[in-house]
Structure 1
Amino acid sequence: MRIPKSVSALAAAAALTALATGCGNSEAGGGQADGEQITVRIPDPGNSGALAVGKKDGSLDKALSKVHAKVRWTGSAGPFAPAAQAMSADQLDIAVGSVTSAITSLTQAPGFKFFTATAPDGAGEGILVRKGSGIHSVKDLVGRKVAVNQGGTGEYLLLKALAAHGIPASEVKRVYLRPDQTAAVFNSGKVDAWAVWATYSVAELGTGKAEFVADGKEIGSDNYSLTAVRTAFAERHPEVVRALYTYLHRASAREKRDPAAYLNVNTDTGPQALTGPAKAAQIDISRRGGTVGPVTRGDIERFRTVARFYAEQKVTRTTVDVAAHVLDVEKLS
């Protein structure tokens, strides 16, 4: 499962506030009587993706009703860091994010675990440059300014690309910006490049004025997408987590086969909608992308590779043990 790709993410602080709105302790925090309906709190998915379809047609609530659960949509899907804080504070039960953001979030006091993994998006993420910028390779980034989100996908992609070409990280200026504020800075020329993922790259690629100097596949990205669940919720309601996994697994396979059906779910106009070349780019990326699956041993080894890389690059102080925060969804019942 991917984070809805056409919807601009909220700023971290704003997202955390939104996630908390109207979200006191759920039933999961205080026990559950037999037969009582369970509520699972999930950020509103916006205008694209499997969850957006599940919300609109009621198929997700129908699937969860089999385990006496329903969704409460709250806030908006945005950066993983504030969502991780919201889960740890018992204000949210489910969130989606990259393994890179997950690693930095795990350096705090995590109250969540991961139960799905989707393979890295080799086509939708990478280092974006403006056409005509004179930047034709990763080596051309030396001495340039590159916008990244600190500790997340952007910083990972840039550092990974530089390391692959033997370029010291100190030779490129990292400009830390919130993802939702970067497009204007990038297009104004105040930064020379933008290390970014499909949520934001699709709109830029759709203008025909930007291109990847290196995409995730060329970079060798191990940047998986993960679904996290609040630890206490998973412990009390494993059957709900398993049902949610089954829904996401099947829906993501349908989305891969027919990406267009999962775009512009609620509206085909306005800032949330994808049209023209941007829509075509997103359809191509989705077709080439992965599907939601359980976290395998092979996945965990790649998570460890990212964690070691982050420690080596001084993004984290130590190597984070991601494996300690993974659930085997196939053993949940």
Structure 2
Amino acid sequence: MTDGASRRLLTTRRSVLCGGLGTVAASAIGMPMGAPAVHAAGRVVKISMQRSSVLFTVLKVRGTLAERLAPLGFEPSWHLFTSVIEPMNAGAVDIHADVADAVPIFTQSAGAPLTFYARERGAPSAEAIIVPADSPIRTVADLRGRTVGVSRGSGSHYVLAAALKRSGLSFADIKPAYLQAPEGAAAFEKGSIDAWSIWDPFLAFAEAKRPVRTVADGTGLTSYHRYYLVNDRFVAEHPEVVSAVYEALSEAGRWVKANPEAAVALLAPVWGDLPPAVVAAANARRSYTVEPVERAQLGEQQDIADVFLEAKLIPRRIDATDVKIFRPSTVKG
């Protein structure tokens, strides 16, 4: 790596999560991630990521996916996004970041040409609505009239909507502050929002930064499956690449759970030198179990879509089970 590249990499790692997840990771249109690209000859497959894309991060840092794709004539090009819905709708990359269960509702509503090819098994406690420990807010009902930070279109957006509905409230009863996760972290720390609906690793960092109280998490509201999607055209033309990505993700998930200390050591510097305990807490709440998508298991997606329609977050009713699904060739049965 050249001195210039080293400086760029160091700057990226410091600025991405400066102050511990407190600044915007990248622009909404996406920027290549700071680590060095693979220079082997081959066709580039563009892959998007978020800071919560743990398994893709593992594959990138360890170079595993590059090795897996090289015999197929491809090399990965990594792109970090703060907001993923726009690039998913626009088809800006080939294979998209793993996204919370709520995100595909918005992309399907927008008619984005996307195919499901994997999901990460649920982890409902990895999303939560939190308040400072000394806040008078103790229940979801106490959020009435309060300013609540949330990232529009995220899984935590659904957690907030569903929690409000369960308590007999709606978004009309609160003051929603639509903030991307890094912006929400800064607002919560400054006290400019009363509560924050958020997911890991931002949740784990907030818990480590100051004493907080969990008003509600995803338990009983959502399983918080994370879904992996690919552009329709890419999977039709290169199913072998998508199958290879699926297998690599599955192996990465098993590696993280089997090697928790090594996983923390790998992720902490990428996430802005977060304390190991924060990374460990986030990893403990995620399942990292990658499995194929089964249409019969998408009923909860319909529940999310119906809540979003009622909250006027999507313009029309959709059948959340009427989506394209690719079954990787590496999956038996």
Normalised by the length of structure 2, the TM-score is 0.81
Partner of 1:80: 84
Aligned residues of 2:149 and 2:184 also touching (Cα < 8 A): yes
Within 2, Cα distance between the matches of 1:257 and 1:271?
21
Within 2, Cα distance between the matches of 1:144 and 1:172?
5
Partner of 1:324: 322
1:39 corresponds to which of 44, 50, 59: 44
User: Does residue 1:291 correspond to 2:292, yes or no?
Assistant: no
Correspondences of 1:1-333 after superposition (within 5 Å): 8=21, 14-18=27-31, 37-43=42-48, 49-73=54-78, 75-87=79-91, 90-217=92-219, 219-265=220-266, 268=269, 272-286=272-286, 289-330=287-328
Within 1, Cα distance between the matches of 2:88 and 2:29?
9
Aligned in 2, Cα 1:46/1:164: closer, same or farther, shift over 3 Å?
Answer: closer
Please provide the CA RMSD for this pair.
3.1
Aligned residues of 1:40 and 1:72 also touching (Cα < 8 A): yes
Within 1, Cα distance between the matches of 2:266 and 2:26?
27
Aligned residues of 1:10 and 1:76 also touching (Cα < 8 A): no
Within 2, Cα distance between the matches of 1:241 and 1:271?
26
Within 1, Cα distance between the matches of 2:261 and 2:116?
28
- Runs of 4 or more consecutive aligned structure 1 residues displaced over 6 Å after TM superposition: 45-48
Within 1, Cα distance between the matches of 2:190 and 2:31?
29
Within 2, Cα distance between the matches of 1:13 and 1:274?
18
Deviation of 1:193 after TM superposition, in Å, equals 0.3
Comparing 183-192 with 6-15, which one deviates more in the overlay? 6-15
Within 1, Cα distance between the matches of 2:22 and 2:249?
21
Partner of 1:26: none
C-alpha distance after superposition, 1:124-177 (max 9, x if no partner): 211011111012221221221111122322321111111122234422221222
Aligned residues of 1:113 and 1:325 also touching (Cα < 8 A): yes
Within 2, Cα distance between the matches of 1:65 and 1:223?
33
Within 2, Cα distance between the matches of 1:16 and 1:330?
29
Deviation of 1:107 after TM superposition, in Å, equals 2.4
Deviation of 1:238 after TM superposition, in Å, equals 0.6
Within 2, Cα distance between the matches of 1:276 and 1:332?
34
Within 1, Cα distance between the matches of 2:84 and 2:215?
26
Aligned residues of 1:304 and 1:322 also touching (Cα < 8 A): yes
Partner of 2:38: none
Letter in 2 for 1:247: A
Letter in 2 for 1:306: I
| SS of match in other structure, 2:322 | helix
Within 2, Cα distance between the matches of 1:57 and 1:186?
33
Aligned in 2, Cα 1:99/1:283: closer, same or farther, shift over 3 Å?
Answer: closer
Deviation of 1:267 after TM superposition, in Å, equals 6.0
| SS of match in other structure, 1:253 | helix
Within 2, Cα distance between the matches of 1:167 and 1:80?
28
Deviation of 1:271 after TM superposition, in Å, equals 6.1
Task: Count matched residues.
Answer: 308
Aligned in 2, Cα 1:47/1:102: closer, same or farther, shift over 3 Å?
Answer: closer
Comparing 123-132 with 97-106, which one deviates more in the overlay? 97-106
Normalised by the length of structure 1, the TM-score is 0.81
Percent identity over paired residues = 24
Comparing 196-205 with 101-110, which one deviates more in the overlay? 101-110
Aligned in 2, Cα 1:155/1:267: closer, same or farther, shift over 3 Å?
Answer: closer
Letter in 1 for 2:168: G
